[in-house]
Structure formats: C-alpha cells, structure tokens
Structure 1
Amino acid sequence: MVTVGLLATLHAAPGKEEEVASFLAGALSLAEGEPGTVAWFCFRIDETTFGLFDAFGDEAALQAHLNGDIAGSLMGRAGELLAKSPEIRHVQMLAAKLPG
C-alpha cells in the first residue's frame, strides 16, 4: 500500500535538455535499490520540462528516498543541469493501482 508520494518538476538549463533526460533515465537503477520506493516514474513534459513521481508506503520511506542517492546526485548537479531549483511537492495518496 502507498500512502505518500513526491511530485517533482525540473526545468533543464538551456542546452542541457538531453543531459537531464539521460541523468533521470540513468537513476532507475538507484530507485530499484530503494526497498521503500514502491513506484518511481520519470518523464518528459516538453522539450525543457521533466517530472518525477515517487510513491512510498510511509513517511519514513519517503524521507529515506530524500536522503538517498538520487536526491543527492540531483541536488549535487542542479546548478549545472537545471535552470532553477526543482519544484517538489509532497502528496497524500488517496488510491493506487500497482502491478503485482
């Protein structure tokens, strides 16, 4: 069961669009290594705008994700890759359909 999630919007710096896309796609293996991350999606909204959606079973798993490798790597390269700080919103999950 999932109870909480994160929705993040990222705006690539000019000329960094494909590097952001590659960075995000490459983070899949890190997400797969997070046992508390129930679902993880990265997507492209338009040429320069990207998104991430993550779902977690509880607040502790969400916090572990925020303190983990994906967030650390992204924030470490944000000044280089992004036009502005990521817009991150915590969401309360009301319902979900997951594989399994």
Structure 2
Amino acid sequence: MTTVAGVIEFKAKAGKGGDVAGLIAAALPHVENEPGTPLWLVLRSNVDPDAVYLVDLFDDPAARQAHLEGKAAAQIFATVPPLLEAEPIIHPADVVAFKEI
C-alpha cells in the first residue's frame, strides 16, 4: 500500500460547486494515463455543495510531483479558478490508516 497522498480543497463561488466538480472530473482521462496515480477521487460535499475535494494516492513522492506538474493539473488550474471563491488549498499528505477495497 502506498502512503503518499494529496488533498486539494476547492471552494466554489455560491452555486458553482457542480460546475467546479465537473471541470475537475473532466481531467480524468489525463489521470488514467499516469502510472504513478493509483487512486484519484473528486468529492463534492453534501454539507456544503460548493466545497469540492480532490483526493489522490501516489506510488511515491516523485509520482505526486509529476502529477502536480502534469496534464490533469494543468487542465484543472486553467479552467477552474474563475469559478472559485478562494485559491485552492493543496495539502501534500501521508496516509495514516487504510482499508483495502
């Protein structure tokens, strides 16, 4: 199991959470071509529909850095910011506990 992760918080402008989630999800084809990214999730909050989270697992720190510099990130950061209330918050992270699917 990998322990290298990342979480990005996106706070959409009022009523734009669905649009933000859709634009982020549109980057999936690029992520599917990244061998070092085994898990990639786009989550939209049920409590705050304008809060969207991108959660990733990576094979190693180099794969995480490659992802942040890759085509998916470029697409997301080229299309999503005009719909955001604030700058995205990027959290490089480590997995503390994990249940295998």
| Shared fold, TM over 0.5 | yes
Which one-letter code corresponds to 1:84 in the other structure? A
User: Under a length normalisation based on structure 1, what TM-score does the superposition of the two structures give?
Assistant: 0.85
User: Under a length normalisation based on structure 2, what TM-score does the superposition of the two structures give?
Assistant: 0.84
Cα RMSD (Å): 1.7
Q: Could you tell me how far apart the structure 1 residues matched to 2:25 and 2:3 are?
A: 25
Contact (CA 8 Å) 1:78, 1:85: kept in 2 or not? no
Q: Does 1:24 align with 2:59?
A: no
Deviations 1:20-49 (A, max 9, x none): 121122222222111100111111012110
Equivalent position to 2:79, from 77, 80, 86: 77
| Structure-to-structure mapping, 1:14-93, within 5 angstroms | 14-45=14-45, 46-93=48-95
Contact (CA 8 Å) 1:10, 1:49: kept in 2 or not? yes
Q: Count residues with an aligned counterpart.
A: 99
Q: Could you tell me how far apart the structure 1 residues matched to 2:97 and 2:50 are?
A: 30
* Identical amino acids, percent of aligned pairs: 37
Contact (CA 8 Å) 1:2, 1:96: kept in 2 or not? no
| Structure 2 CA distance for partners of 1:28 and 1:78, relative to 1, 3 Å | closer
Q: For 1:2, what is the secondary structure of its paired residue?
A: coil
Contact (CA 8 Å) 2:27, 2:75: kept in 1 or not? no
* Alignment gaps of 5+ in structure 2: none
Which one-letter code corresponds to 1:63 in the other structure? Q
